Structure 1
């Protein structure tokens, strides 16, 4: 049942069945291992290592014992800094087992960011790989450790220090691990994820067992997961997409976690789907674009795919259609959320019409509410009108770690998390996210939402990827720049030829004044385009803008 939709205003509440899971992560892992002990739980394709659920539970308890032997207790902060690997998942579940709070560190962080998050979270122990890509993690940790007074120990995966760390746990009685698991409560904080804004230091979104376990569970429910599903997870574990929508969705359903590679590689992802007969594939739109454009795409057997999730940034309609038609993901789901809401608050259903799945981010999830409000007044807007998307319910974070002021700015007194995203709710409760409030361009007094223009530009046969940003303009306040990646062998696109293409489909004030052709877009490690950097580059490239004649 749909609990309480308000047909006139932009508010909707999700169904209240099935009930919320009121257990901590360790208890659910134990139940899953008992129910599906001999089935695959975790596969690391790059090394060929694999664990059944029974083996995974044993391995997790060994790492949990290692944490206890190291003096880690409930509420202590343990950081992990590594690309995707099996040990990442083991540490995730082991910290949950002993009640420690896992601090997930972005693999792309440099020394100053690392110093900040370890210090701000007062981490006692760090688990890391010695290096990742071109980054020397060991050297960076050695540099910052003296400046983090609480940091007592660093354990490096794949080295003697990891072996010693696990071996030390053999002196811990199994009853002590069981006691620690039973002493954790569903409402305890279990994870700090640092979200970086465009200004200021990262904020540590603090999440509970209840927050993330239920979110993983309901994401899996809406994808129709069972113990027969095998989920390919190329998105990073340090982010909610990997560790919650991936790992915890699998734990709550007995599905298999498949790690295709330490970092995203389109060929390795396609190969993992084929080799492991994955039924579900995750990714942000840029990942799916890379897979669809891979030179071996047509040679890889993807016939096992049924579903998957595209999330992390708005999905171009044309890409969604290709994922359904060319990759065979007929039940692919679009999900929307943010770290502060564990993350998913809106998701399409497998039986939604394709039109809804390519034009919206779905409807509100179970046990949650969403509303769209006027950013200036806080009043709910009418359906069909744009406003700020807000979420309320079990998924809203406990707060920003040790930052009550920022928490109060994000979560209002009625418990609504203000996302900063612009949304529009239709009469059926489906929500389209049209951009960030901060990305909205105001040109000559007109509010312009870049997403609408980007969707139109994807229709151009020579455009592979499109991002639209606003830059300062002396006459109009802001002017539009279309940043484009072209298909191989495409004809040149000029500002004038693009304007000609746009004239048939866009109002004059929405037509980009400038065009920038780029080989690659600046990206975050999670695969999101860094629009702030695109805006800065475009502003520099155009220089001091002269009064524009377009319009």
Structure 2
């Protein structure tokens, strides 16, 4: 028997099904197989941009951009950054870089100057492809502020970003930047591209995604072709995906949810990927599902709640929906019930994972009871091992709480250029220590019960307090600061900065203005509370759980009365 996700009675340890072969394709090879099988089928739809491409047309556009990148001097192993919301250029860049073996670097579209500069410098981005703007983010304006005026020959030479050689901007021409349309219009050199693709190794690094840590600075989780191709394949297989499925993708491409579980997942099955807009809008997403006949939909629970709450919800025929994924935060049971009943997603699944594991380790089955889909994260994925351990590293009994560790093909290659941080996360036996606390029951269902890492989740975004704390320490009026999560009905958790001020004139609004434009909007504290001291242990450590309880009572005094 090759599959037994039931733990032994004495220990919390699982091993996934290993009967299906792991794919040994590069991303470029995977796309080529799908194009050969379904050249004229619809591959990609960007409704906001009025763009529809068949698999053949998509591959041709990818090859033109890939050849253009070669013309800029990009080669195998070079880093190419993409800073943009969900646009056609994002997906083209994802596959064009993979075609030549360059490493795609996902830059969060919410990043501001300090975060952008750190990311580009840390991984040595050679070429940055950027949108012009999105909502309140003026990407071109920020880059003009970050980079010196271009010299006469147009080559970028920035002392703070020594590896950066070119910026490619979507939209109108910008002095000192190349136009995306010009680079992507280069005649495709298919023969040269084929030679480059033929020597790619599935184990090569192909993608860097930034994930923050308790050190306060983002770390570049480095993923291979094998990591993300196989995870995409298993995620969509668990939903029963075929080439007849049409997936609505309102989740961001910069995250694994969009680019791996969404885009790559569709490529593994020849399914159609459909993007309702550049960012999430509940009404636009509902309209997209209805008009495009989508059979599947992705989102975090807050997205589904927003769609269900829309005044126009019942104006849309969603009867084509069958399945999808909710991930990123716990799903309330009432939301799950309504999604199944009113959105026709009887086979919706729950998924759990982390960027460092490509990302999914657990996913519910399409026929799991609804109670299991909201109280657990389902069953272990194929070709993975999981164990729960106590602080001493011993496997805990079934039903007991332990730190979740995972091992297998999905574990990242490491954090870019940070061997010490990598060694702290992945032990000598290959186990990735997630920092999440979990239980596993006798039927093999896993439940995430807490986090040993100092992290909060706001609307599906992982937020690491230390990163915000270190930024707030830059303010001259801040003496001490601790950042905690406060319960919130809409986002799950909201950010609260507890501040000991050097200057009594410091105000909450002053701190928020200090943050604006410098850190991502979702990291800006909604609550700023001033305190005279922090609850401490006898060894001098701040007791954040006590601080959190104090702030909840201060912000919501009715909680004490209740």
1:381 CA displacement: 0.8
Q: Deviations over 1:210-261 (max 9, x none)?
A: 0000000000100111110000001000000000000000000000010111
Match of 2:258, SS state, is helix
Partner of 1:318: 334
Q: Deviations over 1:482-529 (max 9, x none)?
A: 54459xxxxxxxxxxxxxxxxxxxxxxxxxxxxxxxxxxxxx989999
Aligned partners of 1:315 and 1:3: how far apart in 2?
27
Partner of 1:18: 20
Does residue 208 (structure 1) correspond to residue 210 (structure 2)? The answer is: no
Partner of 1:337: 353
- 1:270–1:291 Cα contact (<8 Å) kept: yes
Aligned partners of 1:278 and 1:61: how far apart in 2?
28
TM-score if structure 1 supplies the norm length? 0.81
Partner of 2:171: 158
Partner of 2:161: 148
Choose from 104, 107, 127 the match for 2:106.
Answer: 104
Partner of 1:455: none
Partner of 2:64: 62
1:373 CA displacement: 1.1
Unaligned runs of 5+ residues in structure 2 are 148-157, 174-178, 461-483, 492-518, 530-543
Choose from 405, 430, 435 the match for 1:390.
Answer: 405
1:435 CA displacement: 2.4
Aligned partners of 2:490 and 2:420: how far apart in 1?
41
Aligned partners of 2:448 and 2:525: how far apart in 1?
17
- 1:44–1:261 Cα contact (<8 Å) kept: yes
1:549 CA displacement: 9.1
- 1:312–1:528 Cα contact (<8 Å) kept: no
Q: Deviations over 1:14-56 (max 9, x none)?
A: 1013210011010110110010111110000112211011111
The alpha-carbon distance between structure 1 residues 176 and 356, as it changes in their structure 2 partners (threshold 3 A), is: same
- 2:23–2:226 Cα contact (<8 Å) kept: yes
Choose from 160, 184, 188 the match for 2:204.
Answer: 188
1:197 CA displacement: 3.0
Does residue 415 (structure 1) correspond to residue 433 (structure 2)? The answer is: no
The alpha-carbon distance between structure 1 residues 358 and 98, as it changes in their structure 2 partners (threshold 3 A), is: same
The alpha-carbon distance between structure 1 residues 4 and 47, as it changes in their structure 2 partners (threshold 3 A), is: closer
1:158 CA displacement: 2.7
1:173 CA displacement: 3.0
Runs (4 or more) in structure 1 with deviation over 6 Å come to: 524-538, 548-551
Partner of 1:400: 415
Q: Deviations over 1:409-466 (max 9, x none)?
A: 11111111111111110001110112212469xxxxxxxxx99xxxxxxxxxxxxx9x
Aligned partners of 1:257 and 1:336: how far apart in 2?
22
The alpha-carbon distance between structure 1 residues 104 and 413, as it changes in their structure 2 partners (threshold 3 A), is: same
- 2:6–2:443 Cα contact (<8 Å) kept: no
Aligned Cα RMSD in Å? 3.1
The alpha-carbon distance between structure 1 residues 407 and 283, as it changes in their structure 2 partners (threshold 3 A), is: same
- 2:31–2:267 Cα contact (<8 Å) kept: yes
Unaligned runs of 5+ residues in structure 1 are 441-449, 452-464, 466-478, 487-523
Aligned partners of 2:241 and 2:5: how far apart in 1?
27
Aligned partners of 1:480 and 1:151: how far apart in 2?
37
Q: Deviations over 1:235-289 (max 9, x none)?
A: 0000000000000000000000101110111111111101111000000111111
Does residue 378 (structure 1) correspond to residue 393 (structure 2)? The answer is: yes
- 1:198–1:532 Cα contact (<8 Å) kept: no
Aligned partners of 2:526 and 2:12: how far apart in 1?
28
Q: Deviations over 1:171-216 (max 9, x none)?
A: x632111111112110000000001235511000000000000000
Partner of 1:252: 268
Match of 1:141, SS state, is helix
The alpha-carbon distance between structure 1 residues 525 and 280, as it changes in their structure 2 partners (threshold 3 A), is: farther
The alpha-carbon distance between structure 1 residues 211 and 55, as it changes in their structure 2 partners (threshold 3 A), is: same
Does residue 369 (structure 1) correspond to residue 385 (structure 2)? The answer is: yes
TM-score if structure 2 supplies the norm length? 0.80
The alpha-carbon distance between structure 1 residues 42 and 537, as it changes in their structure 2 partners (threshold 3 A), is: farther
Aligned partners of 1:544 and 1:104: how far apart in 2?
36
The alpha-carbon distance between structure 1 residues 120 and 421, as it changes in their structure 2 partners (threshold 3 A), is: same
Aligned partners of 2:136 and 2:394: how far apart in 1?
49
- 1:312–1:336 Cα contact (<8 Å) kept: yes
- 2:111–2:520 Cα contact (<8 Å) kept: no
Map 1:205-284 onto structure 2 (within 5 A). Answer: 205-284=221-300
Map 1:281-320 onto structure 2 (within 5 A). Answer: 281-320=297-336
Match of 1:423, SS state, is strand
Partner of 1:132: 134
Q: Which shifted more, 534-543 or 389-398?
A: 534-543
- 1:121–1:401 Cα contact (<8 Å) kept: yes
Partner of 2:364: 348
Q: Deviations over 1:351-390 (max 9, x none)?
A: 222222122100100101111111x111111111111111
The alpha-carbon distance between structure 1 residues 297 and 210, as it changes in their structure 2 partners (threshold 3 A), is: same
- 1:424–1:431 Cα contact (<8 Å) kept: yes
The alpha-carbon distance between structure 1 residues 423 and 537, as it changes in their structure 2 partners (threshold 3 A), is: closer
- 1:230–1:255 Cα contact (<8 Å) kept: yes
- 1:306–1:331 Cα contact (<8 Å) kept: yes
Partner of 1:31: 33
Aligned partners of 1:24 and 1:526: how far apart in 2?
35
